[in-house]
A = this chain, B = another copy of it.
Amino acid sequence: MPAKLDPWGSMKIENYEKLFAEFGIEPFEKFKEKFKDNRYVRRGIIFGHRDFERIAYAVQKKEKFAMMTGLMPSGKFHFGHKMVADEIIWFQELGAETYVCVADIEAYNMRDIDLKQARKLAVEEYLLNYIALGLKGKNLNFYFQSSYKIPYYLFRDTLSKRATFNELRGIYGELSPGKILSVLTQVADILHPQLDEFSGRMPVVVPVGSDQDPHLRLTRDIAAKLNFILPSSTYHKFMEGLQGGKMSSSDPKSYISLTENPKDAVKKIMRAKTGGRNTAEEQKELGGIPGQCMVYEFFVYHLIDDDKELHEIYHECKSGNLRCGDCKKKCADLMEKFLYAHREKREKSRNVVAQILGN
């Protein structure tokens, strides 16, 4: 990510510079050409990485590698989650053994969600949507932290010997017994695919937001002590909420869920924060600001795959030719279409989900 503004990305990038400079995350730039088929890569939404070279190499040589990701089952599956799902699916299509961890112990310990509820959310909100979006049951290891295989638990125990208090405090600050177990669990989640009982030593990529990087740093330190291959990671930006600010499961006004009633979704879009000016006149004169527009963000992340089309909207907006109302209408139409189609795909995915869960 160079210092220039990226027309595809809609979030500020100042903070990302810090990630590169201080934490050693590297720009994803050099892989852009090779993986340009992916919209998130092309548009700079996946903006950084650690050691992605070995993943790129494995993809090119058709060698084995794995992808590991976690989900916290705490509410509705929304378009912020969809971005991550799309990444997971992308890695699976590139040939990754796909590990998806349901962080139900996390949810229980940190958010007081009981395990049954967590399981239901994980299946109905996450797994079913993943499959509807294109995830395949083949090469998929979808597991619950609370009911996985014994070697996983054992591994976590042995890890506790490898981490020191100072190391943990340096990365996480204040500690508690629950936090320590949680941290060790995350390390086990990321590293266990490399155990002989699972996929064995191989490159593993973990797609995350930069907020998750502390786990990666700790895990890489521990991996080095254990002679594991250091996990690779990619870093993505996050969509903002419909009103600006954070898109959060706990605030329905901030998101559109993938099972949202399409009519309600349309309403949410019509009320979304845009980069429009105060008056039609100003808009015509100064042009809109797509970089501050949540509607545009939906185009970038999800609704418009054709770069040319997106580019056109961007320039039409900037030049003042596009009115927010029309733009919202277009977004609402695309959204409605998407949601109706997704609803059907979800229903068709139920048997795959049952197979995956062994029901």
Contact = CB atoms under 8 A, between A and B. Distances in A.
Contact of A154 (B105, B154, B176, B178): B105
Given A147-B150, A150-B147, A177 B164 contact: yes
Nearest to A152: B153
Interface stretch (A40-48, A155-163, A265-273): A155-163
A146 B149 CA distance: 11
A149 to B, nearest CB: 9
A147 B154 contact: yes
Contacts of A177: 160-161, 163-165, 168, 180, 184
Main secondary structure of the interface of A (DSSP, over half): helix
A176 B148 CA distance: 26
Interface string A12-23: 000000000000
Interface string A127-157: 0000000000000000001111010011001
A178 B158 CA distance: 8
Contact of A180 (B146, B158, B180): B180
10 contacts: A105-B157, A109-B160, A115-B154, A145-B157, A146-B154, A153-B153, A160-B180, A160-B182, A164-B176, A177-B180
A181 interface: yes
A108 interface: yes
Interface centre among A153, A163, A168 (most CB of B within 10 A): A153
Contacts of A150: 146-148, 150
A165 B158 CA distance: 21
Interface string A89-115: 000000000000000010011000001
A100 B22 CA distance: 51
A354 interface: no
Interface centre among A146, A163, A178, A185 (most CB of B within 10 A): A178
A158 B178 CA distance: 8
A357 interface: no
A101 to B, nearest CB: 14
Given A146-B150, A147-B150, A153-B153, A109 B158 contact: yes
A163 B146 CA distance: 19
A341 interface: no
A181 B184 contact: yes
Contact of A178 (B105, B146, B148, B161): B161
